[in-house]
Amino acid sequence: MTKNNILIIGAGLSGTCLARQLLKKGHAVQLIDRGENHSTAIAAGMMNPMVFRRMNKSWRLDEFVKEAKAFYLEMEELLQQPLFHPLVIRRMLSSEQERNYWLERERLPEFQEYLTPITPEDEAYSQADNPFGSGRVNAAFWIDAHAFYHANLNQFFDQNMLLKESFDAAQFDAEHLSYKGVNYDKVVFCVGYEQMNTPFFSELPIQQTKGQTLRIRSNEIPENESLNRKCFVLPLGDQVFRIGATYEWDNPDLTPTEEAKNELVNHLSVLGNYDYEIIDQQVGIRPTVLDRRPILGEHQHYKNIYLFNGLGTKGYLMAPTLSRELSECMLEGTPLDKEISIERFYRKSK
Ligand SMILES: Cc1cc2nc3c(=O)[nH]c(=O)nc-3n(C[C@H](O)[C@H](O)[C@H](O)COP(=O)(O)OP(=O)(O)OC[C@H]3O[C@@H](n4cnc5c(N)ncnc54)[C@H](O)[C@@H]3O)c2cc1C
Task: Give the residues of the chain that fall short of pLDDT 70.
Answer: 1, 347-350
d(CA 119, CA 140): 19
Closest CA relative to residue 48, chosen from 91, 81, 18, 12: 91
Residue 133's identity, in one-letter code, is G
Residue 248, SS3?
Answer: strand
Closest CA relative to residue 47, chosen from 135, 142, 111: 142
Q: Give the gyration radius of the chain's Cα atoms.
A: 21
pLDDT of residue 199: 85
CATH of domain 207-288: 3.30.9.10
Q: How far is the CA of 286 from the centre of ligand 1 (A)?
A: 6
pTM above threshold 0.85: yes
pLDDT of residue 243: 98
- Residue 162's Cβ-side half-sphere holds a number of Cα atoms within 13 Å equal to 22
pLDDT digits (tens, 9 = 90+) for 133-151: 999 999 999 999 999 999 9
Q: Which fold has domain 5-42+146-206+290-349?
A: FAD/NAD(P)-binding domain (3.50.50)
Closest CA relative to residue 148, chosen from 231, 87, 74, 61: 74
Distance of CA 342 to the CA centre of its chain: 19
pLDDT of residue 280: 98
Distance of CA 260 to the CA centre of its chain: 21
- 139 and 114 in contact (C-beta within 8 Å)? yes
- 321 and 275 in contact (C-beta within 8 Å)? no
- Best mutation site among 9, 13, 46, 166 for ligand 1, i.e. most ligand atoms within 8 A of its Cβ? 13
- 15 and 36 in contact (C-beta within 8 Å)? no
Domain boundaries, the chain: 5-42+146-206+290-349, 46-143, 207-288
List the residue whose alpha carbon is closest to atom 27 of ligand 1.
Answer: 192
Strand partners, 86: 141
**CA distances from residue 312 to 27, 113, 136, 243, 289 in whole angstroms, order as listed:** 28, 25, 25, 18, 7
- Best mutation site among 141, 195, 241, 286 for ligand 1, i.e. most ligand atoms within 8 A of its Cβ? 286
Pocket of ligand 1 (CB under 6 A): 10-15, 32-34, 36-37, 39-40, 42-46, 166-167, 190-194, 198, 211, 213, 244-245, 284-287, 309, 311-317
- 222 and 274 in contact (C-beta within 8 Å)? no
Q: How far is the CA of 348 from the centre of ligand 1 (A)?
A: 27
d(CA 289, CA 306): 17
pLDDT of residue 348: 59
Residue 176, SS3?
Answer: coil
The crossing angle, in degrees rounded to 10, of helices 145-158 and 61-79 is 50
Closest CA relative to residue 302, chosen from 155, 148, 121, 173: 173
pLDDT of residue 349: 53
pLDDT of residue 347: 65
Closest CA relative to residue 204, chosen from 144, 288, 126: 288
Other CB atoms within 10 A of residue 236 CB: 15
* Helix%, strand%, coil% for the chain, nearest 5: 30, 30, 40
- What is the 8-class DSSP label of residue 11? -
- 331 and 29 in contact (C-beta within 8 Å)? no
Q: What are phi and psi of 303, to 5 degrees?
A: -70, 140
d(CA 72, CA 82): 9
Strand partners, 115: 137
- 281 and 261 in contact (C-beta within 8 Å)? yes
pLDDT of residue 53: 86
